[in-house]
Amino acid sequence: MKKLILITIAALSAITAAQAQDQLIVNPDGRKTVSLNGTWHYIVDPYDTGFYDYRFKEYAEDNSGAYWNENTPKNETEWTEHAFKSPYNIQVPGDWNHQDRMFLYYEGTVWYQRNFDKPQMANVEDLYLYFGAANYETHVYLNGKKLGMHKGGFTPFNFKIPKNVLKEKDNFLVVRVDNRRHAEEVPTVNTDWWNYGGITRDVKLIVVPQHFIQKYNVQLDVKQDITSAIKKKKFILTGFAKITNPAAGEKVTVEIPELKIKEQYSVQGDSIAFNFEAKKVSLWSPENPKLYEVKLRYGNETITDKIGFRTIATDGKKIMLNGKQIFLRGISIHEEIPQEMRRATSKKDAEQLLGWAKELNCNMVRLAHYPHNENMTHAADSLGLMVWSEIPVYWTIEFGNPEVLKKAEKQLQEMITRDRNRASIIIWSVGNETPVSETRTKFMSSLAKMAKKLDASRLISAALEVHHDNGVNLVDDPLGQYTDIVSLNEYLGWYSGTPASCRTANWEVAYNKPFFISETGAGAKGGFHGNKEARFTEEYQEWYYKEQVNMFKTRFPDSFSGLSPWILADFRSPKRNNPDYQEGWNRKGLIDNNGNKKKAFYVLQAYYKELAEQEK
């Protein structure tokens, strides 16, 4: 009996170990990698036939019916009911929805498969399989063995490949991706965006030595007085590195050649924390998106990154970038290429979206409503666009469920771990339009506190809703106590009244903090013209923007510190079913689904130009 218990415990811990997600390795592109992007095979499996047996029990690992097992019949008499082969081909990265019409509305399981050979490189000591993201629940199998599982559609994850599982040739990699929505997930079942499924971001093998730096951070010390540092041209840089499997006596070198910095640190336990002085640092800003090459060396590995240095803080009602007040000229963006009805993934996609934001004279973008791919944050770094980055805690999720909080916390942690070296990111947002209640405020404030604890060098926010009180638009959501910036989604003239309501609206913010409009917008079908009172005409949207701008200039509190209107481009949403004007599109884009600019684009562009000129 005792023996049996021991065996069971051993078996259970083996499963947990296999399924636990390995610590996220940051900056794969700054290391040795082999891309596994390209053409994969797939099986669509709405009934999860490849996962459960006919009693609907999960298959044993070695069962030949399980789709993670290669099951090629040796001759025509052998039974088999699955195989991965052409023409069932799918591109990775890429949502499945746009790849074949039959996938447009699909929500369920798709199995992906490809083969790969062991990379032929010097120092291949350990291999990790890395996914930029897959939406939503992903199970990964190699040569019939489960490597692990990950939940969350917009953050990266990796699994170590055990040496005894890897073969020299023809490794059989199978990935089960399920994008079904569930009440107890993050996001929950109800969102105003398309539930694109699949392996939406890059897949790669990361080649690391046995002892390596898993994550690190190099930044300006937020505790220094930045104005005097600028005057004296003397700055304190600070940071850390965390080592996987540290080797006795091995040191970490941090090098910034252009600043003539080369420092060595001994590892304490599994990490180093550092602080050093740097002279004449050219600070990162929208006007000067300066990035320095930073190298971190440990043992056989040198990781290369490009990092900008800047500080972001608040001073009463002001937002301060490098010690100077800044107004955020933003725009909200979904990670979607409207002309092709698909998720944005590549560098080129990022350049299209952020290029439009630059044309609009933006200095900031709100990447809604989930962490966007790394090409976006890297492009923002080099284009000089400040970023609001958000986790998909959206609308009414299960705030009373502690498991849901854990899921949100995990996504927050993954987002911050991945992107904390991006100078462009100035705001971590913990959610959007969550309905006020005690339970929700407890949930949301614990996320805000966690974000601060993980990264004290950025501002925390969340998009809130207005409270109508005796003819006043009052921004007094109790969550505002926990955020650095009080942000509001405001649709005056679209969801209530006409744009003319802006002329008489009264505004009050209950906090002595910067006030930010995280959304405002109106729908218009590109190319549809008419009377400005008529909904969905470009003229209505243009009028809306004119009245809004006028209200910002004349009736807004002095804490008004920026805006990110909704939204750069039209985006797909199953919730938008007006048959004449929407047809499955949220039409609040300033750019339509063919890439054409609507009239309102030019109103915002002119306002931003004016603001930019005032700043000079």
Residues engaged in binding ligand GCB (CB under 6 A): 192, 369, 432-433, 489, 519, 566, 586, 588
H helix runs in 346-463, sequence order = 347-359, 374-383, 402-419, 438-454
Q: Buried b vs exposed e over 72-99: b needs ≥16 C-beta within 10 Å?
A: eeeeeeeeeebebeeeeebbbbbbbbbb
- Whose Cβ is closer to ligand GCB: residue 219's or residue 564's? 564
Quick one: 519 or 547, whose CB is closer to ligand GCB? 519
Would you say 219 or 432 has its CB closer to ligand GCB?
A: 432
Pairing of strands 203-208, 171-178: unpaired
Q: How far is the CB of 571 from ligand GCB (least distance, A)?
A: 8
**Closer to ligand GCB by Cβ: residue 84 or 571:** 571
Least distance (Å) between residue 494 CB and ligand GCB: 8
**Beta carbons of 222 and 311 less than 8 angstroms apart:** yes
CB of 586 to ligand GCB, least distance (A): 5
Q: 129: number of CA atoms within 13 Å, CB side?
A: 27
Q: Which of 216, 310, 199 is nearest to 255 (CA)?
A: 216
Task: Between 477 and 519, name the residue whose CB sits nearer to ligand GCB.
Answer: 519
Which lies closer to ligand GCB via its Cβ, residue 195 or residue 489?
489
Query: Which helix or strand (DSSP H or E) is residue 430 part of?
Result: strand 425-432
Cα–Cα–Cα angle for 69, 25, 162, rounded to 5 degrees: 35
Least CB distance from residue 495 to ligand GCB, whole Å? 7
Convert 245-267 to b/e letters by CB count within 10 Å (16 or more is b). ebeeeeebebbbeebebeeebeb
Residue whose CB is nearest to ligand GCB in the complex, by number: 192
Distance CA 328, CA 357 (A): 13
Query: Closer to ligand GCB at the Cβ: 40 or 585?
Result: 585
Q: Tokens standing for 155?
A: 């953050």
Burial profile 336-373: b = 16 or more Cβ within 10 angstroms, e = fewer:
bbbeebbbbbbeebbebbbebbeebbbbbbbbbbbbbb
Strands 203-208 and 212-220, how do they pair?
unpaired
At 80, phi and psi to the nearest 5? -160, 145
Joined together, the tokens standing for residue 442 give 């407890």
Residue 465 corresponds to which amino acid? Answer: E
Minimum separation from the CB atom of position 384 to ligand GCB (A): 26
| Residue among 263 and 465 whose Cβ is closer to ligand GCB | 465
| CB 521, min distance to ligand GCB, A | 6
> CA-CA distance, 292 to 360, in Å (whole number)?
27
Closest approach, Cβ 409 to ligand GCB, in A, equals 21
Q: For residues 372 and 139, what is the distance between their CA atoms, to the nearest angstrom? A: 22
Of residues 423 and 430, the one with the C-beta less far from ligand GCB = 430
Least distance CB 335 / ligand GCB (angstroms): 13
Least distance (Å) from ligand GCB to the CB of residue 462?
A: 11
Cβ-count burial 3-31 (b if 16+ within 10 Å, e if not) = eeeeeeeeeeeeeeeeeebbebbbbbebb
- Minimum Å distance from CB 565 to ligand GCB? 11
Is 414 or 519 the residue whose CB approaches ligand GCB more closely?
A: 519
